[in-house]
Structure 1
Amino acid sequence: MENNTDLSDVAQVLWDNDVNRLQPGIDYKIDLQDRAGQILTNADVTDGAGLPLFLFVNEEFFKKKTFSAFISLLDNYESDTRQPEIITPEEEREIHTFLDAVMETPVLQIAHRYLVEKGRAKVNKEQFKQQLYDIWFSLYARKGGSSQPDSSGFEHVFVGETRGGRTVIGFHNWIQFYLQEKLGHVDYRGYTMEKNHLKPDENKHLITLQFSWKKGVKPRGSCFMGVSPEFEFALYTITFLSSSGRHQKLRFSQYEVEIVCHSNKYKNIETTYPILLQYLAVTSWR
């Protein structure tokens, strides 16, 4: 898998313009503790972390428009894929509030221009907003779930779902993790390592971890840390709309990452998440 130079370049521009990103060790602090153990059964999991992952988060950031709009969406979904989703009029308004908020940010405006240049998005902003709604928020029946619409790309990636009451699927967002851990719904089990055997660094913005949530277990999940909702939304949207393949290798800031991105037969986002491949040598970064 070769580095996608074009997507890497625009990812770097997004990164440089993510003005709402939190600083590790300053705006938030995590405690990785030990490596997670092997999962035998849900009841037999070696816990590599006796303490929570998050030691501190400056929640003043959550008052920012995009963070606030994002957080309002997190309680709108049934996590069990056996339960069909019903979007109320209020929840529909919250979706549009979020889309309006992120579209005002530099990173979504950059993403929009890039996608227009590539012929992947409409110039008209309202049409682009509808495109974002369709790929992220349109409901569909997830394989192995209900026969009725029970999932969406946004729910899967940013909120998380459970399958069969035993397995956590999706759930690749640090804000949701922090808020659920604060409520006592998430039990952090320790960090995990990819095939490169690279241990995560708590002072960087990408980790892979194991945790339990709502009686289910996520054996291995990766996510960006401290980034704004608009950064992830923009990066994943660009990867989804401009990529012909399911896996794209990008290099930006201090990271080489693989962005996994799958669609379903309805052309919605089914899942997308980052995998850390290596840390890059840089002299400075934001």
Structure 2
Amino acid sequence: MARRYVFFGQQADRELTEVLNQLWILDTNRLRPGTDYIISLQGKAGYVAQGSNYARDRARAPLFTYVNEDKLKSIETYLHFVNLLDNYEMSTGVQEEVTSEELKENRLFIDAMMETAVMKFAHGYLSNKGQSPSDCDQFKRQLYDIWFRLYHRDRSGGKDSCGFEHVFVGETKFGREILGLHNWVQFYLQEKHDHLDYKGYKARANKNTPDEDDHVLNLQFSWKGLVKPVGGVFIGVSPEFEFALFTIIFLMSTEKRTSVEVKVDEYLLELIVYRNGQCIGTSYPKLLSSNQWD
């Protein structure tokens, strides 16, 4: 039986922390703050009433002031990842139609990830734990099913969602609510094209203010006229890092909702994964602290 990583309070699992820190070390495609990208945190975001789509703008300028797009175009995983971002219907309840070209793009992305040290390590770990097949092609099919297999998010329509769309692209529900959109590349590209408006950062009570070198942030933003009161986002990490991290948590737990607290690099994080049957429902980080600890 798979070990269940289900936690309460501040107790972090040592083994999972070690695994995720190894992924962090191996993530050589992670972009460097201040060099490959520059962000401007500006003001602390305010309260948004439940069901409201109004948020006071505490950040007059965009979050991203610079991103080295040459790296997004030259690093294989980023290149194939970006190609996937326009493959989905924004609204839940609208059945997704996957073309043969989109299927090919999905597979090219998975193939590119499997060439990275990050995903090779994740595969080896999961295989040793009996959660994934040792055969590479079978593992690719498992990744495809977890992240790209379509399912119902809104029961009123056809198969309208998948883990990739929700987590990395973002969705809207009934034209009133933003779902997902936890990826920094999508955030940057949507901001660049004036579809997304950064409103400010969200800091937890009694925690120090984040800084512009942090790789994990809690953000408030509006997207196509709708407000996300707070969303956790890794900044600068590679697509394969997020895929590996959340795939491991997903497969090492049988719970509907898994919440783990881990120490990754200098960050104390809560990592949350919801499952939708055998697929990812959603997954995202929450920054608890970016300080060093005892």
Bin for the TM-score computed over the shorter chain: over 0.9
User: Which amino acid in structure 1 is aligned with residue 266 of structure 2?
Assistant: Q
Which stretch has the larger CA shift, 47-56 or 195-204?
A: 195-204
Candidates 158, 167, 188, aligned match of 2:198: 188
Identify unmatched segments of 5+ residues in structure 1. Answer: none
Say if 1:36 and 1:210, in contact at 8 Å, map to a contact too.
yes
Whole-angstrom distance in 2 between the partners of 1:280 and 1:17:
22
Residue 156 of structure 1 aligns to a residue whose secondary structure is helix
C-alpha displacement of 1:221: 0.2
Q: Matches of 1:274 and 1:78 in 2, distance apart?
A: 24
- 8 Å contact from structure 2 (residues 47, 55) kept in 1: yes
Name 1:261's counterpart in structure 2.
Answer: 273
* 1:3-82 mapped onto 2 (5 Å cutoff): 3-40=12-49, 42=52, 44-63=54-73, 64-82=75-93
User: 1:248 matched to which residue of 2?
Assistant: 260
Q: Where do residues 1-286 of structure 1 align in structure 2 (5 Å cutoff)?
A: 1=8, 2-40=11-49, 42=52, 44-63=54-73, 64-142=75-153, 144=154, 146-245=156-255, 246-264=258-276, 266-281=277-292
With normalisation by structure 2, the TM-score equals 0.92
- Distance, in Å, in 2 between the alignment partners of 1:90 and 1:138 is 16
Deviation track 1:150-184 (CA, whole Å, cap 9, x = no partner) reads 00000000000011112111000000000010001
Over 3 Å counting, the alpha-carbon distance change for 1:9 and 1:43 in structure 2 is: closer
- Looking at structure 2, the residues matched to 62 and 174 of structure 1 have their Cα atoms a distance apart, in angstroms, of 12
Cα-to-partner distance string for 1:198-234 (whole Å, 9 max, x where unaligned): 4222111010111111221111001100011111111
Distance (Å, rounded) in 1 between the aligned partners of 2:286 and 2:206: 11
- Partner of 1:39, secondary structure, is coil
Query: Residue 137 of structure 1 aligns to which amino acid in structure 2?
Result: F
The answer as to whether partners of 1:141 and 1:149 remain within 8 angstroms in 2 is: yes
CA distance in 1, matches of 2:275, 2:120: 23
- CA shift in 2, pair 1:248/1:44, >3 Å: closer
CA RMSD of aligned residues (A): 1.5
- Contact 1:163-1:169 within 8 A present in 2 as well: yes
Structure 1 residues 153 and 195 mapped into 2: Cα distance closer, same or farther (>3 Å)? farther
Structure 1 residues 146, 101: CA separation in 2 closer, same or farther (over 3 Å shift)?
Answer: farther
Task: For 2:204 and 2:155, locate their aligned partners in 1 and report how far apart those are by CA, in whole Å.
Answer: 28
- Give the structure-1-normalised TM-score: 0.94
How far apart in 2 are the matches of 1:259 and 1:209?
16
Q: Write the distance in 2 (CA, Å) between the matches of 1:241 and 1:151.
A: 20
CA distance in 2, matches of 1:259, 1:153: 16
Partners of 1:103 and 1:196 lie apart in 2 by 40
Deviations 1:7-49 (A, max 9, x none): 1111111100101111111110101110112224655321111
The answer to whether the 8 A contact 1:205-1:225 is kept is: yes
Identity between Structure 1 and Structure 2 (%): 49
Q: CA separation in 2, counterparts of 1:70 and 1:44?
A: 31
State whether residues 44 and 58 of structure 2, in contact with CA within 8 Å, keep that contact through their aligned partners in structure 1.
yes
